[in-house]
Structure 1
Amino acid sequence: MAEEQNVADDLKRQAAMFYNSTARQDAPAQPPTLCFWRKRRLVVALLAFFGFFNVYALRVNLSVAVVAMTEPVETVLENGTVVFKPEFEWSSQTKGLVLSSFFYGYICTQLLGGWLAAKIGGNRVFAIGIGMTSLLTLFTPPLAHTSTALLVAVRVLEGLFEGVTYPCIHAVWAQWAPSNERARLATFAFSGSYAGTVVSMPVCSLLAHYTGWPGIFYVFGLLGLIWTTVWWLVVKESPEKDPLITPAELKYIQESRGSHSLETSKVRHPWRRMLASGPVWAIVAAHFAENWGFYTLLTFLPTFMKDVFKFETSQTGWLAAVPYLAMAIVLQVAGHLADWLLSNGKLSRTNIRKLFNCGAFLAQTVFMVSAAYATSVVGCVACLTIAVGLGGFAWAGFAVNHLDIAPPHAGVLMGLSNTVATLPGIISPPLAGSIVTENTAEQWRAVFFITSAIYLIGAVIYGVFCSAEKQPWVVEIKSEPSFDTDATSVTTTQDRTNFAYTNKAMDSNSEM
């Protein structure tokens, strides 16, 4: 039986080789084009950018809304008396619970998201996560009016669905990103998070001012559902399953990402060896440190501006958005710079990751301390803008490191690191709420000191244990050439030439 199977396999390979050789002769050269949508990996990156835009718009909306929900407003009592009272009379601790409740759900589905992405496809899990979060956002205002407990419950559910987004996008990049474009594609997509923060904070302030705080949730919930529909229809699980990809681009991606098979149902994860790996825990520590600073400011920056510098609700959103605008811009620079250094051989991949990550953390430590002692709003915002913005270089370090050390397992590794990195979202708001009880600058200073210390510890751990080389425990499933006409694959005559493009001379006439 074994001999017959070997003969059958040989015949199958010969048939595939014969088919490819004949298809190559008939494959037409394609003219070059500047249309970015013809480069399907760029389409995936652009839609992923807007996906993360929605992820953070849906997450940050409550940070601005809670200021409007708890500030005194003019209220007419039944006897005609006019008083000023908040719509929701929450203590500092209650506000901390409401703001952190999202993360109780978010932390539970990180590993599940990576595992599901390896089984059913990262593109599908990404869409489901954002789509369900958007739908639940629409129910937030009526539930908040009903009871605080229901508001907390719906935020936990939103966190459960949004928790899958970061792990499964790495499963998407394991399929779509050429190895020398990982940093730029991943950081471009991740920068959508900060663009979403930049836009949603001031827009939320305007919506709260002109439509009332419920309008915040209705607008961004509907935008999220629109994006979900577009992503579901356009983005495929892998380039092999995209009927619109050009043969040259498919060949370029396949050759660049390596020989490992990307058939998701066959991926097996070496859990024990992954959990014993120093480079894995270096990523985890860096992710935790970066998220501590990010979540602290994301959650409390509008409140900080109101407490210390006495800004109105409509102004806090604009000022709080400035640091994240810097982050969105720096991410683009950092991703391209990291890939340029790598392609030009200026530094090794490991040294690039260390330089970008540790350098950013050390600078963030300095500027967070400086912000704590700033005596003017201009100085404080400038220090926070530099501190948050430099985090873009850190994301070009640890955030793509999963793809460096273990491409087939990048989704679950991101799930692992983001699980630990979600703890700041749970710990930081209540901790800050317990420290800042009298809304003084001295109390807020303690919050910044804690953040600086965590950045410094993260820099040390990552600098010692980081590696960007593929680890020996990586499990790769080799795929052999096959004569496959499965309808789920790329099966048109033009698409079959994807497997026929082996003539280097033809690449100059085709788009990559």
Structure 2
Amino acid sequence: MALSLPHAHHMTPPVRKENGVASILNGTDTDGLGAAWRFWHRRRYVVAFLAFLGFFNVYALRVNLSVAIVAMTASRNVTLSNGTTITTRDFDWDSKMKGLLLSSFFYGYIVTQIPGGWLAAQVGGKRVFGVGIAVTAFFTLLTPPLTYVSVYLLLAVRVVEGLFEGVTYPCIHALWARWAPPLERSRLATLAFSGSYAGTVVSLPASGYLAEQFGWPYVFYVFGSVGLIWFAIWWSVVKDGPEEDARISPEELKYIQDSLGNTSLKDVVHPWGKFLLSPPVWSIVMAHFSENWGFYTLLTQLPTFMKDTLKFELEKTGVMSALPYLVMAIVLQFAGHLADWLRSSGILTTTQVRKLFNCGAFISQTVFMLLAAFLLTPAGAVTCLTIAVGLGAFAWSGFSVNHLDIAPQHASVLMGLSNTVATLPGMISPVITGYIVQNKVGL
């Protein structure tokens, strides 16, 4: 498929087929399965929901250290057997070491983006996605005992976790290339991606609670166990393509196949030279990089900012840090459906929707992030950061689905390419922050 963005983006809703079964008329579901809200009757939405839970685990396993590290390095009073009370902490890491620990995940994560997309096209997105999360969950369970041995083992574990989580975003597009009808791409993809923010919403306060009530090791034990349980369900339910799913109805199978045509990915030859010279590809790459810079900075530093600058207690730090991502998860559902509705109704072309949602979100986020820097009160800072993160949902309905618009057969490797560059902020931002913010300044 050509990588010419304008031609690929000016898609119109397919006309109704003569048999009346496979059509996407005005963005409605006419696959013979009844009301659209009964999503559990549609296997493609079952896949999307389980992918949502998968990304929930991806981020729960990723961000738990952001909260746990606060407890791991916090000072506490301990009464010795002789009655003497001393102040101690489990690990005496300075801001530079903490920045390195928080960024180490991304040193592994960046390596497997493009290989993950390629591998998913060869062996199937379901397998790569599931195994990537399962191995990450397993190493999460090993984190506490290895950390007590050496901080460098913790660094190594985080790098390995990054290696296996690095395949998740690219390989999910291999699934959508076979499961998602063109005018349902935004809603299916954003439903799955919103699991990332739901995982952040739950894991940040839950990590704070577990660390406060049971000790920081339980942060890793609980989320590692949940990840392995999810893997067992995913592996038994999800198939790489609709034609492999024994539970799919004949109507839905025909609907998907007629909408997508040939979806075989194994024999696709990826034109790497065209990728690297394509302006549409690089526009996606830069949009992805820009969104992730702000996101990863907040993801790794917001709990510390809440505690050190806004003076929230550890449990409240987790709750308040999660608030922006709760808004993001909610707005993402609205943005995905709105994007598909605008396209299917003919109000805007696909190109116009992607540009409007992406650039509009970026401009709005810039305004509120700048306001947060000047309104350094708890209410003002939390409000501005929440709005800024929430508005990012519209950007995700722009660039994150765009790979499927311009070249669905190559979408997994294109996502790998863009997410490789977009991982750099996760590596750079915590380290830069650790060097810049060495003196804690309260309000």
The TM-score normalised by the length of structure 2 is 0.91
Q: CA deviation at 1:231?
A: 0.5
Corresponding residue for 1:61?
64
1:263 is paired with a residue of what secondary structure? coil
Q: CA deviation at 1:252?
A: 1.2
Corresponding residue for 2:178?
175
Aligned residue identity for 2:409: P
Aligned residue identity for 1:338: A
Aligned residue identity for 1:232: W
Q: How far apart in 2 are the matches of 1:174 and 1:105?
A: 26
Q: CA deviation at 1:314?
A: 1.3
> What RMSD over aligned residues (CA atoms) do the two structures have, in Å?
1.6
| Preserved CA contact (<8 Å) 2:33 2:42 | no
Corresponding residue for 1:86?
89
Corresponding residue for 1:272?
273
Cα 1:218–1:281 change in 2 (3 A) is same
2:342 is paired with a residue of what secondary structure? helix
| Residue 215 (1) aligns with residue 218 (2) | yes
Corresponding residue for 1:143?
146
Q: How far apart in 2 are the matches of 1:353 and 1:32?
A: 30
Write out per-residue CA displacement over residues 228-247 of structure 1, whole angstroms, 9 at most, x where no aligned residue. Answer: 01001100010111111111
| Preserved CA contact (<8 Å) 1:36 1:43 | yes
| Residue 419 (1) aligns with residue 420 (2) | yes
Q: CA deviation at 1:262?
A: 2.3
| Preserved CA contact (<8 Å) 2:116 2:171 | yes
| Preserved CA contact (<8 Å) 1:103 1:159 | yes
Corresponding residue for 2:350?
349
Corresponding residue for 1:262?
263
Q: CA deviation at 1:76?
A: 4.1
Q: How far apart in 1 are the matches of 2:307 and 2:377?
A: 13
Q: How far apart in 2 are the matches of 1:30 and 1:64?
A: 47
1:265 is paired with a residue of what secondary structure? coil
Q: How far apart in 1 are the matches of 2:306 and 2:230?
A: 32
Corresponding residue for 2:6?
none
Q: How far apart in 1 are the matches of 2:102 and 2:179?
A: 35
Corresponding residue for 1:122?
125
Q: CA deviation at 1:308?
A: 1.1
| Preserved CA contact (<8 Å) 1:302 1:320 | yes
| Preserved CA contact (<8 Å) 1:180 1:256 | no
Write out per-residue CA displacement over residues 438-462 of structure 1, whole angstroms, 9 at most, x where no aligned residue. Answer: 02269xxxxxxxxxxxxxxxxxxxx
Corresponding residue for 1:320?
321
Aligned residue identity for 1:403: L
Counterpart selection for 1:159 from 159, 162, 171: 162
2:422 is paired with a residue of what secondary structure? helix
Q: CA deviation at 1:35?
A: 4.7
| Preserved CA contact (<8 Å) 1:120 1:264 | no
Aligned runs of 1:451-462 on 2, under 5 Å? none
Write out per-residue CA displacement over residues 393-430 of structure 1, whole angstroms, 9 at most, x where no aligned residue. Answer: 00000000000000000000000000000000000000
- When structure 1 is superposed on structure 2, of 347-356 and 29-38 the one drifting more is 29-38
Corresponding residue for 1:251?
254
Counterpart selection for 1:224 from 224, 227, 240: 227
2:183 is paired with a residue of what secondary structure? helix
Q: CA deviation at 1:264?
A: 2.8
| Residue 197 (1) aligns with residue 197 (2) | no
Aligned residue identity for 1:380: A
Q: How far apart in 2 are the matches of 1:423 and 1:85?
A: 35
Aligned runs of 1:2-81 on 2, under 5 Å? 32=34, 35-76=38-79, 81=84
Cα 1:283–1:144 change in 2 (3 A) is same
Corresponding residue for 1:337?
338
Q: CA deviation at 1:282?
A: 0.4
Q: How far apart in 1 are the matches of 2:65 and 2:381?
A: 23
| Preserved CA contact (<8 Å) 2:189 2:401 | yes
The TM-score normalised by the length of structure 1 is 0.79
Q: CA deviation at 1:306?
A: 1.1
Cα 1:88–1:239 change in 2 (3 A) is same
2:77 is paired with a residue of what secondary structure? strand
Q: How far apart in 2 are the matches of 1:185 and 1:105?
A: 28
| Preserved CA contact (<8 Å) 1:327 1:392 | yes
Q: How far apart in 1 are the matches of 2:303 and 2:362?
A: 23
| Preserved CA contact (<8 Å) 1:117 1:171 | yes
What is the percentage of aligned positions where both structures have the same residue? 65
2:111 is paired with a residue of what secondary structure? helix
Q: How far apart in 1 are the matches of 2:416 and 2:391?
A: 24
Q: How far apart in 2 are the matches of 1:211 and 1:136?
A: 20
| Preserved CA contact (<8 Å) 1:123 1:235 | yes
| Preserved CA contact (<8 Å) 1:198 1:322 | yes
Q: How far apart in 2 are the matches of 1:315 and 1:440?
A: 19
Q: How far apart in 2 are the matches of 1:30 and 1:336?
A: 20
Q: CA deviation at 1:73?
A: 1.2
Aligned residue identity for 1:231: W
- How many residue pairs get aligned? The number is 413
Q: How far apart in 1 are the matches of 2:263 and 2:82?
A: 70
Cα 1:58–1:31 change in 2 (3 A) is closer
Q: CA deviation at 1:78?
A: 7.5
Cα 1:441–1:344 change in 2 (3 A) is farther
1:108 is paired with a residue of what secondary structure? coil
Larger radius of gyration: 1
2:91 is paired with a residue of what secondary structure? coil
Q: CA deviation at 1:62?
A: 0.3
| Preserved CA contact (<8 Å) 1:107 1:160 | yes
Q: How far apart in 2 are the matches of 1:31 and 1:377?
A: 49
1:84 is paired with a residue of what secondary structure? strand
Aligned residue identity for 1:239: P
Q: CA deviation at 1:268?
A: 1.2
Q: CA deviation at 1:79?
A: 6.3
Counterpart selection for 2:116 from 109, 113, 121: 113
Corresponding residue for 2:21?
none
Aligned residue identity for 1:225: L
Corresponding residue for 1:104?
107
Q: How far apart in 1 are the matches of 2:258 and 2:415?
A: 24
Question: Which consecutive unaligned segments of at least 5 residues does structure 2 have?
Answer: 1-30
Aligned residue identity for 1:266: D
Q: How far apart in 1 are the matches of 2:225 and 2:263?
A: 34
Corresponding residue for 1:450?
none
